[in-house]
Amino acid sequence: MSRLVFLRHAHSTANNQGVLSGRLPGVSLSKDGFSQAEALVERLGASSFDEVLVSPMERCSQTISPWLQSRYSKALGKYRIEDNLNEVDYGLWSGRKLSRLSKEPLWKIIQSTPSKVQFPQGEKIKGAQKRAIKSVHEAHANKKSGTFLFVSHGDIIKATVASLIGLPLDSFQNLIINPASLTVLDFDGRSGRLLAFNDTHSCIAPLLSTKKVGKALIGGGSGTSKAKKR
């Protein structure tokens, strides 16, 4: 049983401008984003990761950099840039204002049946989901009892989480993944159990040290609390 942590990059200059940046170069964190990245030092805290996998986009490495440089990262196993976690290739939509894109006919299809969407001269959402899931399976195969941190993008994380919990891709827009949010699942190689979702405030180190969830229990189980000895 692996434990998977998904971190969306912090607030970016493109987020500030209302632009769909995609894979365009030169998109950095905004002033708020750098503050969120600094706050992640304590929010990740003394979490122990067997591997940290990061999208090649600058805003993702900037987001995790303060934690990597902190005293908490001493227990880190490996760190690497993972191309399969890259942002969706939005093709000709890249760099355009979201307010204008929302008026395009394709926008309605993205909201209703994204599994059918391929961006103009860009990527299919289904293809982006497939490559991101590949990263999860490869990490799990390398260490089935490991704890992994994936630093990526909103649509990539939404599509990945949807797949892991058995949600159809056409429903992935029902998931909200905010900048600098943390989402945690246990994964057995086939499906995931959602432990925390879109958390933007908590320290997750205590959660990561809890026993991994091997199966769903009738009634929801008893959680992680222990009865006091008498």
Sequence-separated (6 or more) residues with CB below 8 Å from residue 172: 114, 129, 158, 159, 162
Q: Is 7 inside a domain boundary?
A: yes
Instruction: Say what the pLDDT of residue 75 is.
Output: 84
Q: Would you say residue 52 lies in a domain? A: yes
19 within domain boundaries: yes
Range of the domain at 196: 2-89+127-216
How far apart (Å, rounded) are the C-alpha atoms in residues 178 and 158? 10
- Secondary structure of the chain as H, E, C letters: CEEEEEEECCCEHHHHHCEECCCCCCCCECHHHHHHHHHHHHHHCCCCCCEEEECCCHHHHHHHHHHHCCHHHHHCCEEEECHHHCCCCCHHHCCEEHHHHCCCHHHHHHHHCHHHCECCCCCEHHHHHHHHHHHHHHHHHHCCCCEEEEEECHHHHHHHHHHHCCCCHHHHHHCCCCCCCEEEEEECCCCEEEEEEEECCCCCHHHHCCCCCCCCCHHHCCCCCCCCCC
- CA 194, CA 183: separation in Å to the nearest integer? 8
pLDDT at 225 > cutoff 70: no
In a domain, 108, yes or no: no
Question: What is the model's pTM?
Answer: 0.94
| Confidence at residue 211, expressed as pLDDT on a 0 to 100 scale | 86
**Structure token pair of residue 177:** 């993944």
Provide the angle, in degrees to the nearest 10, between the axes of the packed helices 31-44 and 58-68.
Answer: 40
Could you tell me if residue 198 is inside a domain? yes
Which amino acid, one-letter code, is at 21?
S
| pLDDT at residue 192 greater than cutoff 50 | yes
- Residue-wise pLDDT for 142-177, tens only, equals 999 999 999 999 999 999 999 999 999 999 999 999
What is the share, in percent, of the chain residues with pLDDT greater than 70? 92
Give the CATH number, domain containing residue 150. Answer: 3.40.50.1240
The residue whose two tokens read 């103009």 is 120
To which residue do tokens 């942590």 refer? 5
Whether 97 is in a domain gets the answer no
Predicted pLDDT at 7: 98
The answer to the question of residue 111 being in a domain is no
The tens digit of pLDDT for each residue in 84-98 reads: 999 999 999 999 999
**Mean confidence (pLDDT) of the chain:** 94
11: left (phi over 0), alpha (psi -120 to 50) or beta: beta
Domain-located, residue 56: yes
Give the model confidence (pLDDT) of 37-72 as tens digits: 999 999 999 999 999 999 999 999 999 999 999 999
- Interval 129-142: pLDDT, tens: 999 999 999 999 99
What is the sign, positive or negative, of the torsion defined by CA atoms of 63, 81, 152, 19?
A: positive
**Would you say residue 230 has pLDDT above 90?**
no
pLDDT exceeds cutoff 90 at 213: no
**Structural domains of the chain, count:** 1
